Amino acid sequence: MLTWLVSTSLKLRVVVVALCVVLMVYGVRATRTAPLDVFPEFAPPKVEIQTEAPGLSTEEVESLISMPLENALNGTPGLKTLRSKSVLGLSSVVLLFEEGTNLHIVRQFVQERVSAEAARLPTVARPPVILQPLSSLSRVMKIGVSSKTLSQRDLTVLAMWTIRPKLMSVPGVANVAMWGQRDKQFQVLVDPDRLRAHGVTLEQVVRAAGDATVLDAGGFVDTPNQRLAIRHLSAIVEPEDLARSVVDFRDGTPIRLGDVADVVIGSPPPIGDAIINDGPGLLLIVEKQPEGNTLEVTRRVEAALEALRPGLKDVDVDPTIFRPATFIERALNNLSHALFIGCGLVVVILIVFLFDWRTALISLTAIPLSLMAAVVVLTLSGATINTMVLAGLVIALGEVVDDAIIDVENIVRRLRLARATGSTESPFQIVLAASLEVRSAVVYASLIVMLVFVPVFFLDGIAGSFFRPLALAYILAILASLLVALIVTPALSLILLTGRASHRSEAPISRGLRRMYGALLPKFVGRPGMSVIVLLAAFLLAGAATTRLGREFLPEFQETDFLMHFLERPGTSIEAMDRMTVLASRELRAIPGVRNFGSHIGRAEVADEVYGPNFTELWISIDDTVDYASTVARIQAAMDGYPGMSCDVQTYLKERSKEV
């Protein structure tokens, strides 16, 4: 098999070179369109059901809603973990499934069970909602919306009917959660004294207000020639219209709502709030679907916001409060630089040691061809290009060139030997024999290196989700380098080296190292005991050094986006959390390098954050030009200045991985 492979590549050497060019061109195009993200999908399949129950306490939510739903969902096929969280007015039930479970199928199972149980929930509870499936790193962007001229209620109307629908239409967006929402509603503020004076009951007021605002079917009227639909057009547009609604009659005189109550426009009691750069506003959190391309979704969201900008007069829209695409772009740029620097170092080493540009060129072709082949296979399989995949390719960088060097060195040696002995063999036969001579060493060495990473595929949980893409990228690159050494290297050697091998001399550095090795080798060969002692000493020193190394699942990423959690005592009001958040905003924004500030308090409707009003999450971003360590220390010192309150400072990647 290998003999046929090598001989065929030599016969079709021009075709082999042409196919290599095609692979590089296709690979470059594939990398430009490949989905990019920070990490692979590492969270287990998850389904979350939220049920709003306005007015119910935490204990009532748990006993009347969460527990019945848990009982109904227990036993769902593939279920691994079932847990719930109950807060004031909201129940959240989370189901975690076995790795590899088809999420769309289990969502159907969950939907059937929830639908059957929903009819038995309290009447005060709204219909349960199954949240959209989200990516492991669900946050794509946090957008601050504020205005100096518009109220928070007007901003809510603008965001609800203009901004959010536009963002939800962006491909890849799963949900847009809104904190600080203030819905517009008519409020009837009843005066008990005026009620008694007119002899009207509260029940009559409630019925009159409801009848005045209800929209119902009007039916139709049949005529000899037509059937005419009857529309019910509400006359209630302003508070004054509702105030004119009749509650009762006294001696033929109508008693109106305005006679017993004040009718105003207001908002329902808030379940959460948002602070944008020291003031009130809205915080829109854009969440993406699983396997979504973070960079592509981010660009589309930014394009949608730019299209809306002409209609957002007097509204300040800040899409940079949290933008993970910035970190991805910087991380990929740094890894690309590391890859190019590594390639440059390999070029220098090959030229210095091989001392011939042709052999160096043949060896170097293994690097781009192997890495590009691995990327093409990954993109064709639907994989996401992330930092773990790139890390696997960077680790493989030093290995992919080894097979080609072994092959080309042996070919050069055999060509030189044939020239020196006056052999009549054709260059084709010499190159073929030289390649087959080392094929076993090349294949075995590559297989051994690949086998080292095979156990990584058997890791489970979050560790397996993180490191399997790294191992896969590494193995694909090594496998591609093996094929390059067996197919491309002999073909290029036959094209570039035949007739020129005799002119190649040994590199000066190789001669110097050979002399040093020749002087040391006899000493160790003649004293095997000393060799064993040196080996054991090196092993013990390495083992001792590893005990002093820190142990952490993920390295410290220099993210420029930070989040902090404020957790106060249960029962703390939203107004109190607003005041503390504004103080923290002013203190944090005074730190040099802090660009902007955004925070959300409590919770939002249909969002994956399930907390009471006593919880605040603060987000800031810093310039990448400031001193990172000192700026982080100042942020931590500012947060430590709030005694009696639980507070932490961390980055989103670390917080999310810990949460999972």
Q: Examine the pLDDT at 203 and tell me if it is beyond 60.
A: yes
- Which residues neighbour 495 within 8 Å (Cβ) at sequence distance 6 or greater? 13, 17
Point out which residues pair with 279 in neighbouring strands. 276
Give the 3-state secondary structure of residue 563. Answer: strand
Residue 547 has a pLDDT of 76
Q: Where are the alpha helices (DSSP H) in 422-527?
A: 427-437, 439-453, 461-483, 489-496, 508-526
Domain 185-266 maps to which CATH number in 3.90.550.10, 3.40.50.720, 1.25.40.10, 3.30.2090.10?
3.30.2090.10
Handedness of CA 273, 275, 279, 282 (dihedral sign): negative
pLDDT at 503: 52
Mean pLDDT of all residues in 41-55: 90
pLDDT of residue 644: 66
> What one-character DSSP code corresponds to residue 273?
E
Would you say residue 575 has pLDDT above 70? Answer: yes
**Span 606-626, mean pLDDT?**
88
Residue pair 168/300 in contact (Cβ under 8 Å)? The answer is no
Neighbours of 660 (CB within 10 A): 15
Confidence of residue 63 (pLDDT cuts 50, 70, 90): very high
Instruction: Answer yes or no: is pLDDT of 656 > 90.
Output: no
Find residue 597's DSSP bridge partners: 620
Number of H helices, E strands in the chain: 25, 20
Give 369-388 pLDDT, tens digit per residue.
998 999 999 988 888 888 88
Residue 502 has pLDDT above 70, yes or no: no
Question: Mind giving me the DSSP string for 305-327?
Answer: HHHHGGG-TT-EEEEEEE-HHHH
- What number is the average pLDDT over the span 351-361? 78
User: What's the rounded Cα separation, in Å, for the pair 646 and 656?
Assistant: 19
- Between 95 and 609, the more confident residue is 95
What's residue 505's pLDDT? 62
Q: Give the number of other Cβ atoms within 10 Å of residue 584's Cβ.
A: 25
From the list 178, 140, 143, the residue with the least C-alpha distance to 276 is 143
For residue 484 the two structure tokens come to 């390059």
- Which tokens sit at 50? 């939220």
CATH topology of domain 2-34+328-546: Multidrug efflux transporter AcrB transmembrane fold (1.20.1640)
Top mean pLDDT of 211-215, 348-352, 376-380 is at 376-380
Helices 489-496, 357-364: inter-axial angle, 10-degree rounding: 160
Percent of the chain with pLDDT over 90: 31
C-alpha span between 489 and 481 (Å, rounded) = 10
**pLDDT given at position 506:** 65
Where residue 504 falls among pLDDT bands split at 50, 70, 90? low
How many residues appear in the chain?
Answer: 660
How far apart are the C-alpha atoms of 320 and 623, rounded to whole Å? 11
Q: Please give the C-alpha separations between residue 228 and each of 129, 216, 217, 234, 605, in angstroms, as whole numbers.
A: 38, 16, 13, 19, 40
CA distance 236 to 185: 12
**What integer pLDDT is reported at residue 496 of this predicted model?**
83
Domain boundaries, the chain: 2-34+328-546, 185-266
pLDDT category of residue 501 using cuts at 50, 70 and 90? very low
The model's pLDDT over 98-111, given as tens digits with 9 standing for 90+, comes to 888 889 999 999 99
